[in-house]
Amino acid sequence: MEKFFNTAGPVRDDLHYMIPFAQRVDWEEIQHLIASQKYFLLHAPRQTGKTSGLLEMMKELNSGKKYHVLYANIEGAQASRNNIDSGIETVCSAVSRAAEIYLQEDRLVDWLRTRGREIPGEDRLNALLTEWTRVSDRPTVLFLDETDALVGDTLISLLRQIRAGYNQRPDFFPNSIVLCGLRDIKDYRIHRSDGDVITGGSAFNIKAKSLRLDVFTFAEVKTLLLQHTEATGQQFAPGIFAEIWQDSYGQPWLVNALAYEMTWEDRSARDREKPITLNQYWAARERLIQSRATHLDQLTDKLREPRVHRVISTLLADGDGTIKEMSPDDMQYVEDLGLVIARPQLRIANRIYGEIIPRELTWVSQSLIAMDERWYVTEDNFLNMEKLLIAFQQFFRENSESWIERFEYKEAGPQLLMQAFLQRVINGGGRLNREYGLGRKRTDLAIEWPVNPEQGYYGKVQRVAIELKILYGNLEKAIEKGLEQTVEYGDTLNADELHLVIFNRDPDISWEDKVWHEVRDYKGYEVGVWGS
C-alpha cells in the first residue's frame, strides 16, 4: 500500500510520510533528563505530533532495555471534574491497561481490581505507581498524555500524588515522569470545588523543565512532501513549497492536510504521472478552509475564551490603546495554543489561521449577505472595484449597527464586516488575503482575481490592495498616513489598484458626512479613498 499524509491520530512509519520525532526535539536533552531522574513537561498546540512523539520515545527507550517506559492517555478523567475518586480511578485504569498493551504486564490490572479500590482516591495513583516500580526489574518512566485536559480537584489530586511520591524515586516511584498537554503547567488555572483557584506551578513545583515541541521547519516541510515524490515519482510545482510554508508556517496538521488534499482528495492527482500544479494547490487550500475540519473547528472554538479574545481582538482591530490590555500570560497562553507567534512581533501563526479566524467570526454574516450573480464583474471579467465599494458603503450604512452587535469581536467589527462582504463576493472566483500588523493601526487586504478562469493564476491576475483604518482624530491626517501605507502595501503586491477605506465610528456624525469617495494622487499613484 502507498503511504499517505496523515491527518488523524498518531503517525506510523509503515503507513505515513513522517518526520522522525528525534529530529524535531533535542533527543539528547530528553535522554539526559530521564537519566537524571527529572520530572518535566512536554507541551505543544493540538495536533503538532505530541502523542506520536511520546509513542516513538516509548518504543525507542524500551528497545534499549534500560527502562520500563509506559505511555497512557488520561483524557477520559476530564469528565470526572471535581470527583477525585472517579477521576483518579479513571487515571489508574488508563495506566494499568496501558501496561497490559505496551509492556504485556497484567499485574497492575490485577492490583487495581483487588487491592487498589480499597485505597482512597486521594492516594490511589501514588500507590499504583509505587507498586509498578516496586515489582519492576528496571527503573520506570511514565508518559501521561492530555494531562491538562483534567479539571478541578481531579487534576490537583493527580499533581499532588505525583509530587508526594517524588522522593521515593527511583526504587519505589517512577524514575522520571513526563506530563504532556497543550499548555505549560504554569498556565494551568485549576478551579477547585470550594471556589479556590490554584495554579499548576504551585501544585507541581518539582518540574525540572518545560519543553515545547516546535512546528516543522521549512526544510522539514519540503522533506515531508518530497517523501511522496520519492515514493511515487509525482512531482510538485516548485512554487508549492513556499506557498505551503507561508500557509502553514510548519504547523504539522496543516502541512499534512494540505498535502493530503493535493495528492488524494483531488482525484485527478491520483494519477501519479501528472505533476501537481500551483492551481491545484490553491484549490486544495480553499477546500481545506471551507471544510471547517475538526482541527480548525477546535481552534476557532478557543476564540470564545476571554484570554484568547483579548489577544486576537488586538490583532484584528487597529484601534488605539488596545495593546496595553494584553498581559504577558495571555500572550503566552494563546501562543501555546498555536494561534499566534509572539516573536519577533505578535502575529497570527500562519496564513491559514489568518483566513480561518475572520471567516469563522463572520460565517453567519457571510451567509446572510444577498448577492446578485456577478454584478460586480465587467464584460472582460475584471472586478469593477468602484461598483463593488459603492455597494459596500451602502451595505455598511444599512447594516453596520445591527450586524456588528452580532460579532463577538466588536472591536474589529467594521473590518470584519467588510471582510465578510468581500469574502462573499470573491469566494470561488479569486482569493482574499489578509495581513494584520499589531500597532500599525490598519488591516491590509489583497484581492487576487484571475481574469481568465481557465488559465487561473497562471494567466492574467487582477491585484487590488485595500487598506482599512478606523478614524481616530483628524480625518486629513488619517488620510495622509493611510495613503502612505496603502501605496507602500500596494507596491509590495505589485497591485493594479489601490484603495483606502476609513471607518468613522463617531455616532454624532451623520451618514451623509461619513459616506464619501474621492481619488487622491500620492507619489504618482492613484488611490481611491472611501469614507464609511
The pLDDT tens digits for 479-518 are 999 999 999 999 988 999 999 999 998 888 898 989 999 9
Which whole number is the average pLDDT over 50-59? Answer: 95
Q: Which residue has the cell 463593488?
A: 388
Measured distance CA(376)–CA(462) in Å, rounded: 14
Quote the mean pLDDT of the chain.
87
Q: How far apart are CA 498 and CA 496, in angstroms?
A: 7
Does one domain contain both 469 and 511?
Answer: yes
Last residue of a domain, one of 242, 263, 291: 291
The string of pLDDT tens digits covering residues 116-170 is: 888 999 999 999 999 999 999 999 999 999 998 888 889 989 999 999 999 999 9
Q: Residue 515 has what pLDDT?
A: 92
270 and 134 fall within a common domain: no
Note whether 495 and 467 are within 8 A (CB). no
Same domain, 130 and 173: yes
322 pLDDT band, cuts 50/70/90, is very low
Element (H, E) at 165: helix 152-165
The verdict on 458 and 525 lying in the same domain is yes
Confirm whether 7 is domain-assigned: no
pLDDT the model gives residue 320: 46
pLDDT at 325: 61
In 63-160, beta strands by DSSP E: 68-73, 140-145
- The domain boundary, picked from 212, 243, 267, lies at 212
The rounded distance, in Å, linking the Cα atoms of 59 and 77 is 25
Q: Is the C-alpha dihedral spanning 417, 421, 424, 427 positive or negative? A: negative
Model confidence at 49, pLDDT cuts 50, 70, 90, reads very high
DSSP state letter for 443: E
Do 100 and 73 sit in the same domain of this protein? yes
**How is residue 489 written as a grid cell?**
502595501
Structural domain contains residue 127: yes
Q: Count other Cβ atoms within 10 Å, centred on residue 235.
A: 16
Would you state the cell numbers that stand for residue 418, as one nine-digit string? 467588510
User: Are 207 and 240 part of one and the same domain?
Assistant: no
Q: What pLDDT does 399 receive?
A: 78
Is there a domain that residue 236 lies in?
yes
pLDDT of the residue at 321: 40
Alpha-carbon gap, residue 480 to 463, rounded angstroms? 23
Q: Could you tell me if residue 340 is inside a domain?
A: no
Residues 205 and 231 in one domain: no
Residue 293's nearest CA partner among 27, 7, 3 is 7
Shared domain for 191 and 56, answered yes or no, is yes
Q: Which residues of 478-491 are buried (b: 16+ CB within 10 A; e: fewer)?
A: bbeebbebbbebbe
Statement: residue 297 has pLDDT above 50: yes
Instruction: Write the single-letter amino acid at 468.
Output: L
3-state secondary structure of 372: coil
Residue type, 492: T
- Residue 300 resides in a domain: no
Amino acid making up residue 131: E
Angle at the Cα of 253 from the Cα atoms of 424 and 178, rounded to 5 degrees: 140
Q: Given pLDDT bands bounded at 50, 70 and 90, which one contains residue 471? A: confident
Q: How many domains does the chain have?
A: 3
> Looking at the structure, do residues 239 and 175 belong to the same domain, yes or no?
no
Q: Percent of the chain at pLDDT above 70? A: 88
Beta carbons of 484 and 473 less than 8 angstroms apart: no
**Angle at 342 (CA atoms; ends 55, 354), nearest 5 degrees:** 85
Q: Are 296 and 357 in contact (CB under 8 A)?
A: no
- Residue 457, pLDDT > 60, answer yes
Task: Compute the Cα dihedral for 254, 256, 262, 265 and give only its sign.
Answer: negative
* Three-point CA angle 457, 463, 465, nearest 5°: 145
**Length in residues, the chain:** 532
The verdict on 391 and 510 lying in the same domain is: yes
Confidence class for position 373, pLDDT limits 50, 70, 90: low
DSSP states of 202-262: HH-TTEEEEEE-----HHHHHHHHHHHHHHH---B-THHHHHHHHHHTT-HHHHHHHHHII
160, 267: one domain: no
Average pLDDT over residues 82-90: 94
* Residue 437 pLDDT exceeds 70: no
C-alpha cell at 134: 516496586
Residue 323 lies in a domain: no
Asked if residue 328 is part of any domain, the answer here is: no
Q: Which helix (H) or strand (E) holds 277?
A: none
How far apart, in whole angstroms, are the C-alpha atoms of residue 76 and residue 90?
Answer: 7
- 332 inside domain: no
pTM of the model: 0.83
311, 318, 409: which is closest to 358 by C-alpha?
409
Query: Would you give the DSSP letter of residue 64?
Result: T
pLDDT at 509: 87
Predicted confidence (pLDDT) at residue 51 exceeds the cutoff of 60: yes
Range of the domain at 29: 21-212
* 65 secondary structure, DSSP code: T
Same-domain status, 69 and 177 = yes
Say how far apart CA 337 and CA 346 lie, in whole Å.
14
Taking each continuous run of H as one helix and of E as one strand, the counts in the chain are 21, 15
Query: Is the pLDDT confidence value at 519 over 80?
Result: yes
CA–CA separation, 404 and 412 (whole Å): 9
Segment 332-358, tens digit of pLDDT:
888 888 888 887 777 888 989 888 887
| 275 pLDDT higher than 50 | yes
pLDDT of residue 417: 83
pLDDT score of 306: 84
Q: What angle do CA 121, 126, 128 make, to 5 degrees?
A: 90
CA distance 98 to 91: 11
Long-range pairs for 427-435 at CB < 8 Å and ≥24 separation? Answer: 429/377, 429/453, 430/383, 430/462, 431/282, 431/286, 433/351, 433/355, 434/354, 434/355, 434/358, 435/354, 435/489
At 204-261, the pLDDT tens digits run 677 788 898 989 999 999 999 999 999 999 999 999 999 999 999 999 999 999 999 9
> Beta partners for 181?
43
Domain C-terminal end among 212, 244, 259: 212
Q: Phi/psi of residue 502, each to 5°?
A: -115, 120
